[in-house]
Amino acid sequence: MSNDSILRTHNLSKQYKKRWAVKNLNLEVHRGDVFGFLGPNGAGKSTTIRMLLSLIKPATGEVELFGHRLHTDRARALRSVGGIVEKPDFYLYLSARKNLELIGALNGGTTKARIQEVLGLVGLKDRGSDKVKTYSHGMKQRLGIAQALLSDPELVILDEPTNGLDPQGMKEVRQLIQHLSQDRKKTIFLSSHLLNEIELVATRMAIINRGELVVQGSVQELLAKGDNYVVIEGSPATSIRKVLKSQRRIVQRFTERGGAFEVRMDFKNIPALNVALVRGEVKVGALIPKRSLEQYFLSLTDGQTSDR
Amino acid sequence: MGKLLYYELIKTFFKKRTYIGFLIAAIIVPLVEVAIKFEGDRFLQVATRRLQEDFFFIGNLFNGWFVSYQIMNALWVHVPLLISFVAGDLLAGEATAGTYRLLLIRPVSRTRIFLAKLGATVLYTFSFVSFLGVLSVGLALALLDSGDMIVIENGILILEESSVAWRFLVAFLLAVWPMLTIASIALLFSSFVDNAIGPIVATMGVLIVFLVLTVLPLEAFDSIRDGFFTKHMVLWQKVFADPIPWDDIQHSAIVLGIYTVVSCISAWVIFVKRDILS
């Protein structure tokens, strides 16, 4: 294990009857990463996370956390790890604070001040005495993050933490992840089926499909595998073509496909292109930015959805 | 370990389901005892109708001790249901609620979590049987006064008042033992399912099957009947014999203990090894 690797899996596999849910998975998460773990629904993300957190036992292979083998040295391996697995479930008849006290005891002890701190971090300080059964889904999701942070772990594993949240809630979770990574120096392992979510926060990522690792690397590297393009919907086509040919500084190249134009260009030049199109008497219906990473992801996962 | 047990007890005693047994006992015991008080001596006369053809009864035999004993006799087969409500929920309830995912990702071994749950089961069982004992004896003595105690089992026995209180104490302590057997069977079923209703139904199913096999007068079962835990569940009754058959009580306690230990070890192995998919 290299010095800054805090999570590694070695040929991790899990089989349910005859189906391989995860097969020969080799992941490596470095200290300080926001590691995006991306894959379509049913790809094996949750099964992998359950194996990382010792909820299920691998059929073969093993997990190493902070240099400790999970199978043989479970307590040490999990000492600096916090996590949420799938949806956040709690003891509904207990208050959030009592739930966190209980989890703290399982972590080896916690203080009331620490419980207040994590409740404050996720914006639940004023609702800590309320029973969890009175919480909305979004509040439970935030409480889930609070419990994952309770022991001040170095590695935080979050399994689809924005599931079921409204756009504002999703934005808040993303901001929290960035805060944890940048200000609190946590390493984040973030699973999602939303490419957009991973793109916005991750520094490194892995894509899994049908239980197998498809690709792993830095987000920059993966983005560099293609370029971004903008789809122009509008008319007349002759005017669009004329404008695109005249805008050499903005447009790298363009193609026509099914009545729409796909323009390779930097997204920051979209407003300038829009001005040029309007001046060229084009009736612009839409300018749609597309990331090649999405195409890349779709090509790697056989076109299975990455709901944006 | 102490903290784990403490929070396991918090979970158990903050849950409404835990109080179903207490509530039922708190309703049925006073109801029966008040009714008996108003029925008066007729209750004793019905209970001793056949014996009165041969004996004269002198003194206050219709008293709190007698009624408490009758209530214990009537309830011992129903209390297991109330025990299994809680014990059956201890592990399966976590699966149903999805809270295994909260508990079992911590740097604490599953064995310690299991031991905390087992401890909570023992304390719940003990507290429930104690509650039943204090309520039935305390209320019966308050309503019906004290005196010598008449025991009608395969004959008639009058126990002096001075020896009755400690006999009740020992009887209730012994009554905890078979209830722990029931609780451990419920815990075993609870360890391998994700639905809390299943263990309750399965435990009652096992109890009914064993009860039927115990009381059926079939020779085929004679040689193995002593191994049925249901045959030994009334070991507490033997405290009200004179002299007390301690050897029999010890034998029954061992048989019940074997069921308890085997159930607990099986539950532990399943719990430690199982994949959490809920």
The H-assigned helical ranges of chain B are 2-13, 19-39, 41-47, 64-75, 79-87, 89-97, 100-103, 110-144, 161-191, 197-215, 222-225, 246-273
Q: Quick check: A89 and B97 CB within 8 A?
A: yes
**A79 interfaces chain B, CB cutoff of 8 Å:** yes
Per-residue confidence (pLDDT) for residue A308, from 0 to 100: 36
CB contacts < 8 A, A to B, total 79
For residue A209, what are the β-bridge partners? Answer: A212
Q: Quick check: B101 and A56 CB within 8 A?
A: no
What is the pTM for the complete model shown?
0.82
Closest residue of B to A49, CA-based? Answer: B105
Per-residue confidence (pLDDT) for residue A163, from 0 to 100: 82
For residue A224, what are the CA distances in angstroms to A111, A293, B86? 46, 9, 58
A157 contact partners, CB below 8 Å, separation of at least 6: A49, A52, A53, A81, A82, A83, A84, A85, A148, A189
Counting Cβ atoms within 10 Å, is residue B73 exposed (0-12), middle (13-18) or buried (19+)? middle
Per-residue confidence (pLDDT) for residue A196, from 0 to 100: 75
Interface test with A, best of B7, B8, B12, B106 (most A CBs within 10 A): B106
pLDDT above 50 for A27: yes
Q: Tell me which chain A residues have a C-beta less than 8 angstroms from the C-beta of B102.
A: 89-90, 103, 147
Which DSSP state fits A128? T
**A113 interfaces chain B, CB cutoff of 8 Å:** no
Write the residue in A50, A92, A106 that is nearest to B108 by C-beta: A106
Q: How many angstroms from the chain centroid is the CA of residue B130?
A: 10
Q: What is the torsion angle, in degrees rounded to the nearest 10, for the CA atoms of residue A79, residue A81, residue A84 and residue A86?
A: -100
Of the pLDDT bands very low, low, confident and very high (cuts 50, 70, 90), residue A168 is confident
**How far is the alpha carbon of A55 from chain B, nearest alpha carbon, in Å?**
5
Q: What is the pLDDT along chain B (278 residues), one digit of tens a residue?
A: 788 899 999 998 998 888 988 999 899 889 888 888 877 667 666 666 666 666 666 666 678 888 888 888 887 778 888 899 888 999 999 999 999 999 999 999 999 999 999 999 999 999 999 999 899 999 988 888 887 888 877 777 888 888 888 999 999 999 999 999 999 999 999 998 888 889 999 999 999 999 888 888 888 778 888 899 999 998 998 998 888 899 999 999 999 999 999 999 999 999 999 999 88
Of the pLDDT bands very low, low, confident and very high (cuts 50, 70, 90), residue A195 is confident
Q: Quick check: A78 and B16 CB within 8 A?
A: no
> Is the distance from CB of A42 to CB of A54 less than 8 angstroms?
no
- Cα distance between residue A294 and residue A305, in whole Å: 10
Q: Quick check: B3 and A76 CB within 8 A?
A: no
Per-residue confidence (pLDDT) for residue A307, from 0 to 100: 40
- Cα distance between residue B99 and residue B90, in whole Å: 11
Q: Quick check: B103 and A106 CB within 8 A?
A: yes
Q: Give me the residues of B, 70-129, that contact A with CB < 8 A.
A: 97-109, 113
- Cα distance between residue A268 and residue B61, in whole Å: 99
**A86 interfaces chain B, CB cutoff of 8 Å:** yes
Closest residue of B to A150, CA-based? Answer: B106
Percent of chain A past pLDDT 90, that is, above it, reads 52
Which DSSP state fits A95? B
**Which strand (E) or helix (H) includes residue A35?**
strand A34-38
Tokens of A248: 């050499």
> Is the distance from CB of A92 to CB of B97 less than 8 angstroms?
yes
Per-residue confidence (pLDDT) for residue B151, from 0 to 100: 80
**How far is the alpha carbon of B7 from chain A, nearest alpha carbon, in Å?**
6
Of the pLDDT bands very low, low, confident and very high (cuts 50, 70, 90), residue A258 is confident
Q: Quick check: B106 and A90 CB within 8 A?
A: no
**A73 interfaces chain B, CB cutoff of 8 Å:** no
Closest residue of A to B98, CA-based? Answer: A89
